[in-house]
Structure 1
Amino acid sequence: MFKIAHTHDDMGWIKTADDYFTGANAQLEHHGVQYIIDTMVEALKRNRERKFTYAEVGYLTRWIETRTQAEVNDLISLVQNGQLEFSGGGWVQPDEGASHYIDLIDQYTLGLRKLNATFGTTCGHPKIGWQLDPFGHSREHGNILAMLGYEALYVARIHHLEQDVRVKEKRLEFNWYPSDENPSRKLFTGSLINLYTDPPTFCFDADCVDPPVVANPKFDNYNVDDVIARLKAYVEDFRIGTQPHKHVFMPMGSDFHYQAAEKNFRNMDNLIKVVRNKTDYNIFYSTPACYTKAVQEAGVAWTNKTAPDFFPYASGTHSFWTGYFTSKPACKGLIRQSSNIMNAMRTFNAFALPSNRNEHNTPEEKVERACGLAQHHDAVPGTCKEHVTQDYNYRLLQGWTAAEGVFQESLQAISQKAKKNNQQFPPQTFCRYLNESSFNPFHS
């Protein structure tokens, strides 16, 4: 039994990304991601056996940039000793239905670049795709992950009828062949049961009301026998019959879980202890990469998936997640336009060859972060609150302002090199009002 402790931290949904990170506007949603990472680090330091999986590099970067070097060093140590594993590796957990493949690649580039710069290219480099909450899954995204060298992809939202068939036929895990240009390119893929949340009655988070594991018989509410009975029912009645092997992927986490991480881990410690003492199950903390290695070595003849992708997504008989393909079109258009500006900015900057900048400097990265954030599976689809959409738009337009400065410097450098003089280049700006039906630029 592979216990996968994780948290799913949306970079904007009910609150903005910054509000989620800081914990602000608690009347809307009380979670603060910075505290999740804080308590996760401290909990892992207390017990070498504990492991954790994290995905959202955008939040992780905010945490690294606001903590002391000693705290960052603690995080690095946890990565190096294998207790903390990164899955996904993108700036966000991106949408796959309304996003453009260029933007998908860019947000993975940004996230992986940050991980490489902080943790190196070995221990901190993700091996597993981690798309737990996007509303359907595309071949092109799977193809991108395969070309990036990922070993597997785990998803949690496929059409409920296909999920039912795969459960019945023990085909929740399979080899996906997502490429037309290279038919041999494959990506091992697994669809999780019960979305990506804890097993029923085993949620130990501060947000949950499931009973704790009381392993000490001195207490009146000692419940080891009940815990074992519930776990056996989960494994033997709910899991083993759905898969062709006896390795159980056991997610322990959900949206913004582990804000008080010691509570989660203390109960999981007790669960591991009583299960080892009372059953023949081999239960332990693990990671998606370790689980993937184990099932790949299980000698299973996996089924294959070639043709279509996992769209449209339906979570129930009358619950089709297709409206987001076209909702909030102004935001979708702004995201594409911002992506074009970002790539044009990179081109001009490369031609200008500025001597006082490194490859990844502040103005360019402001645009990259805004575009990367907009690929989140509640951003470009438009499945967030309206004030959150406005925040995404604001960040994109702030990126335009940063890009204007880069364009100005680049064009001036190119002009001066071509003309061999130091003449100032005329100021360059982006008009923010071109989408208005009637607009006089001379009156702005």
Structure 2
Amino acid sequence: MSWLEFLLMLISLLPLFVYSDAAAIPETVGKTCGYKACPIADPKKLNIHLVAHTHDDVGWLKTVDQYYFGNSVIQALLADPERKFIYVETAFLWKWWLRQNEKTKEDVRNLINQGRLEIIGGGWSMNDEAVTHYHSLVDQYTWGFSWNSPNNPLSRRLNDTFGSCARPHIGWQIDPFGHSREQASLFAQLGFDGMFLGRLDYQDKRKRLRDESMEFIWKASPNLGSRANLFTVVLYNNYSPPPGFCYDLLCNDEPINDDIDSPDYNVKERVEQLVQYAHLQATSYKTNNVIFTMGEDFNYEMWFSNLDRLIRYVRKEKGSEVNIFYSTPSCYLKAVNDAKLQWTTKDDDFFPYASDPHSYWTGYFSSRPTIKFFERMGNNLLQVSKQLAAVTQLEGYERQLEHFREAMGVMQHHDAVTGTEKQLVADDYARILYAGVQQGITVAFQALRKWRSSGNSDFASENMYTCMQLNISMCLYTEDEDFVLAIYNPLSQKVVSPIRVPVQQGKYSVVDLTNGNEITSQIVPIPKSVQKIPGRRGSAIDELVFFASLPPLGYKTYTVKRNSKNINQQPTAEVSIDNEFYNVSVNKNGHIVIKWKKQNMELTQSFHYYEGMEGNNEEFKNRSSGAYIFRPRSSSVKDFMEPGSYKIYKGPLVEEIHQYVTDWVCQVIRIYSGMQYVEFDWLVGPIPVKDKIGKEIVTRYYSNLNSSGEFYTDSNGREMLKRKRDYRPTWNVELEEQVSGNYYPITSKISLKDEENQLKLSLLTDRAEGGTSMRDGEIEMMVHRRLLKDDAFGVGEALNESAFGEGLVIRGSHYIVGGSLKNLDKLALEEKTLARQLLLRPWPFIIPVETNSSRHTPYASGSQGTGLAKALPPNVHILTLEPWKNNTVLLRLEHIFEIGETVSLSKPVEVNIQDLFATFTVVSIKETTLGGNQWIKDMNRLKWESEMNDIFQMEENLSHSVEMKGSVINVLLKPMEIRTFIVEIVPRHL
């Protein structure tokens, strides 16, 4: 360990808060926070806003806990009333807060009430914007804003813990590696006045600096209109201070020396340098305000004493020229707003992000695919747990659910789900999420037992299990001879879903316990390659498949019995599989061919790989492919030369092709009876590196569609954006990296359209991945990466994951759906239904069957339950249903279709929620902003005017209220709208 490493262990790595008696401030302080607390800008001078801040990763090179313990800035704030500071990551804030005494807490509240300590962003972490799903983002901001505190319905709020002055109203996304349009839309819906960005493409930034367009109005949703518009500021120097003005122990910059007798006296020189830099920065912005971000990663030591001197001497030397003061992003934004100027607009996003001609940060779209899938599973189970707790009015679960929420909030961090952390930190993230998942499972068990025992008291003490490794066909609990599956559907609509559980070899029967009928089931073999996955345990060699018909927000039970043993599943001699919609075969090259039976559509799928570039990273042209960067040696992919082998299995429910491309690439292609999609269940790894070459594995789907150089990708799983190959909407792009410069984040879906022939093809994912369309009609997806060099952007190690002593093995799924645009309503509904089922899958709970037990016989009470008393329209989804406080629940309803996406389903829709739920009655309802921390009627955002002379504000949110007439509580939803409510309820008997 070097002396610096030892020093870093001892000094603060995270500037949290400690209390100092000597620096205490009076307890009684008036609330002068927000814009009222801002220093007054001088309209005749250049105003320099010094923003004291730190950036604290919730894990990156060290774990969350390793980054936590440290010193603070509170003592410095208490010492001088002119000083201000902002704080962002709520995860660290709460970790510190819980350890403080009441006097310290009161001092912090007073600093917040004075506007000298400002909470910015307010999420549990500063989230990534490329590979995060909006469902998890909404949750992490809701939880970041939340904290337990008594009394009113909004009492689980950040502003209730610290006072109303703590409510965040600025987005602070200064470190993510590219920025999504949906993130801006969510910020606007949270009620924010603006957001600040740190990173954007070097070519884009160069143009914006030249054009004075570093500040603009982001039109973040064509569906929500002005309600989703957000004023956006691109910071001049990312989030770093001006060059030469870093004053932390981690910096080497020259401090301000004002001892006139010292040979190192440098006041005039330093003042002149700062003011010159301010004037330079001002040339790229339209107002007479500049913002200096005075902080860095894991800072705050020695800053304020130097900043005090800087302010003092700049005022003394240049007071007639500039006005310098401590400020906050809010105060800067207010000063810009006061200028009453017109602003340019933007309606696309900031992907892909490049920091130089050879560094496109598109590799992390696919880095660490197991973590990306685990996070998606975590969201699935979190919604199940919250819904079950709300539907059953469960008690005594709160702390367990809090741990789970916190774990999921950590996972949204821009160095967590992204895969851009060290391996030891990735392991710790998995540990944190696993612990949270176990807490969520406990809550779900308690709630489901309560629900089932309301109809049959025998169920109150039944054993219950769940399996988190069904993706590798492993579940020890289903290898018993008989068991019951209580399958919960977290979606708002009835679902008919294929259920697959690993079983021992034999013949099985499945009985629907709601009516006593045996339903059709099928046994299919588990591929040998899956059985050999490192770490997979158990003796299951087959999977039992059946269709479960599940009620909305409800469960249904099925008994599974093993009737005989030693039945081998034999492949057929046929050369293709088919159902009503598709014919699927393998061609002579070993590629999969799909032919549509009802449209003139055909698709060929194959695997390939890029060789990762390796360099010394000392020059742009020597950049390596790594955790952040995707940089192939060549724009041409490498092919797998041998055609491989395959087997075909058929039955009444599913037909499968088991294909073996190489000894480390294989897949199962499935089509289900009656299902209008083709499933590609692929397995990749261990990626061989004995040749000392890193590899990035892609799968290509090449169709006969003429896509005209265009394709469509989702923004955080929500609205779709049009992409065009080798093109950026707001500048003339020059690409020196042809492939990586065309890669985009695919959180959930990528689509092609053939306008001439009225055809559409979509690919849906089970996790976030990188993807593109490098040829018309083709979709390319990167599924796995193993690299041997670091890309020199901070991680300090190669992305070379291993598990159980071997290179990491990945199993994942793609879903192909497509058809004619002439049947747009039907096709769009199929896509939406499938996407929802992939995000919120039916969750099976396994209940062992005791010998001679009569509890799991046909017609047993408690064999099913539903949380809804009536069906919702197909274009309405319950995004959130979770317990709140004092007999209330938090309810979010969303319209899931975009304007013009379909003829009928894109129309506004009205829902009466008073009698919507089966286990409780809605008594009253009150709308909040998206984060649940402010009543919608109290939201009053800053107004901005675009160069098109349209003034936007949030008044449209109030254009339709909740209609309450007797037993009718109608909620109107417009396309892509999310509305959030605190709902007072009266429980019904389960």
Q: TM-score with structure 2 length normalisation?
A: 0.42
State the partner residue of 1:305. Answer: 346
Within the alignment, does 1:43 sit opposite 2:76 as a pair?
A: yes
Q: Counterparts in 2 of 1:99-178, with a 5 A limit?
A: 99-114=132-147, 115-120=158-163, 122-178=164-220
Contact 1:408 1:425 in 2 (8 A): no
Which residue does 2:231 correspond to in 1?
Answer: 188
In 2, Cα distance between the equivalents of 1:399 and 1:223? 53
**Shift of residue 220 of structure 1?**
3.1
Determine if the alignment matches structure 1 residue 394 to structure 2 residue 427.
Answer: no
**What SS class does the counterpart of residue 427 from structure 2 fall into?**
helix
CA contact (8 A) 2:257 2:264 kept: yes
1:402-424 residue CA offsets vs partner (Å, 9 max, x unmatched): 112111210111122233x3643
Alpha-carbon distance in 2 for matches of 1:59, 1:412: 35
Residue matched to 1:295: 336
Q: Structure 2 CA distance, aligned partners of 1:86 and 1:218?
A: 42
Match 1:347 to one of 387, 391, 396 = 387
- Counterpart selection for 1:418 from 433, 452, 455: 455
2:450/2:460 contact within 8 Å kept: no
Distance between the aligned counterparts of 1:15 and 1:336, measured in 2? 23
What is the identity, as a one-letter code, of the residue corresponding to 2:243? P
Partner residue of 2:308?
A: 269
Q: Does 1:14 align with 2:56?
A: no
Q: Which secondary structure state, in structure 2, belongs to the residue aligned with residue 244 of structure 1?
A: coil
Moved over 3 A (4+): 439-443
Cα deviation, residue 228, structure 1: 1.8
> 2:285 aligns to what?
243
Q: Match for residue 27 of structure 1?
A: none
Distance 2:107 2:199 in 1: 34
Q: Deviations along 1:158-183, whole A, 9 cap, x unmatched? A: 11100100000000000111012122
Asked whether the equivalents of residues 400 and 430 of structure 1 are also in contact (C-alpha less than 8 Å), the reply is no
**Following the alignment from structure 1 to structure 2, what is the Cα–Cα distance between the partners of residues 256 and 297?**
33
Contact map agreement 1:415 1:425 (CA 8 A) in 2: no
Q: CA deviation at 1:126?
A: 0.7
What is the DSSP-based 3-state SS (H/G/I as helix, E as strand, rest coil) of the residue aligned with 1:123?
Answer: helix
Q: How does 1:404-415 map to 2 (within 5 A)?
A: 404-415=441-452
Match of 2:49 in 1: 2
Query: 2:374 is matched with which residue?
Result: 334
- Displacement after TM superposition at 1:327 (Å): 1.2
Distance (whole Å) between structure 2 residues aligned to residue 429 and residue 230 of structure 1? 66
Q: Counterpart in 1 of 2:361? A: 321
Q: In angstroms, what is the RMSD of aligned CA positions?
A: 1.5
1:201 equivalent to 2:249? Answer: no
Kindly state the Cα deviation for residue 222 of structure 1 after the two structures are TM-superposed. Answer: 1.8
Of Structure 1 and Structure 2, which has the larger fraction of its residues in helix? 1
352, 368, 387: which is aligned to 2:405?
Answer: 368
Deviation at 1:397, TM superposition (A): 1.0
**CA 1:441 to 1:348, structure 2 compared with 1: closer, same or farther past 3 Å?**
farther
Pairwise CA distance, 1:356: 4.3
Secondary structure of 2:123's aligned partner: coil
Equivalents in 2 of 1:77, 1:230: separation in Å? Answer: 36
Conserved? CA contact 2:159–2:165, under 8 Å = no
1:384 matched to 2:421? The reply is: yes
1:29 corresponds to which residue? none
- C-alpha displacement of 1:355: 4.1
Q: Distance in 2 between matches of 1:395 and 1:200?
A: 38
In 1: Cα distance, 2:315 partner to 2:335 partner? 20
Q: Confirm or deny that 1:428 pairs with 2:464.
A: yes
- Select the structure that is richer in strand: 2
Q: Which amino acid aligns with 1:252?
A: M
SS at match of 1:4: strand
Q: Percent identity?
A: 38
Q: Which residue does 2:726 correspond to in 1?
A: none
Deviation per CA, 1:282-338: give whole Å up to 9, x if none.
1000101111000011122111112x2000011111000001111111110000001
Q: Secondary structure at the match of 2:62?
A: coil
User: How many angstroms apart in 1 are the aligned matches of 2:340 and 2:441?
Assistant: 56
Shift of 1:441: 4.5
The aligned residue for residue 741 of structure 2 is: none
In 1, distance between residues paired with 2:266 and 2:422? Answer: 42
Instruction: Please tell me whether the aligned partners of residues 3 and 251 of structure 1 are also in contact (alpha carbons under 8 angstroms).
Output: yes
| Distance change (3 Å), C-alpha of 1:355 and 1:10 | closer
- Bigger-Rg structure (1/2): 2
Give the Cα separation in 1 of the matches to 2:438 and 2:539.
Answer: 20
In the TM superposition, what is the alpha-carbon distance from 1:214 to its structure 2 partner?
Answer: 1.8
Whole-angstrom distance in 2 between the partners of 1:429 and 1:116 = 39
Contact 1:411–1:425 under 8 Å retained in 2: no
Amino acid at match of 1:430: T
| Counterpart-to-counterpart distance in 2, 1:102 and 1:167 | 34
User: Aligned partners of 1:336 and 1:116: how far apart in 2?
Assistant: 30
Structure 1 residues 155 and 425, CA gap change in structure 2 (3 angstroms): same
Tell me the distance in 2 between the aligned counterparts of 1:348 and 1:435.
23
Secondary structure of 1:312's match? coil
Deviation (angstroms), 1:430:
2.5
What amino acid is the match of 2:265? Answer: Y
Counterparts in 2 of 1:442 and 1:405: CA distance versus 1, 3 Å = farther
Contact 2:404 2:439 in 1 (8 A): yes
2: CA distance, partners of 1:219 / 1:427:
77
Partners of 1:71 and 1:169 lie apart in 2 by 47
Q: 5+ unaligned residues in a row in structure 1: which ranges?
A: 23-33
Specify the code of the residue in structure 2 equivalent to 1:178. Answer: A
CA deviations over 1:81-136 (Å, ceiling 9, x no partner): 1110011110000000000000111110111113234213x210111000000000
Which segment drifts farther, 289-298 or 73-82?
A: 73-82
Q: How many residues align?
A: 419
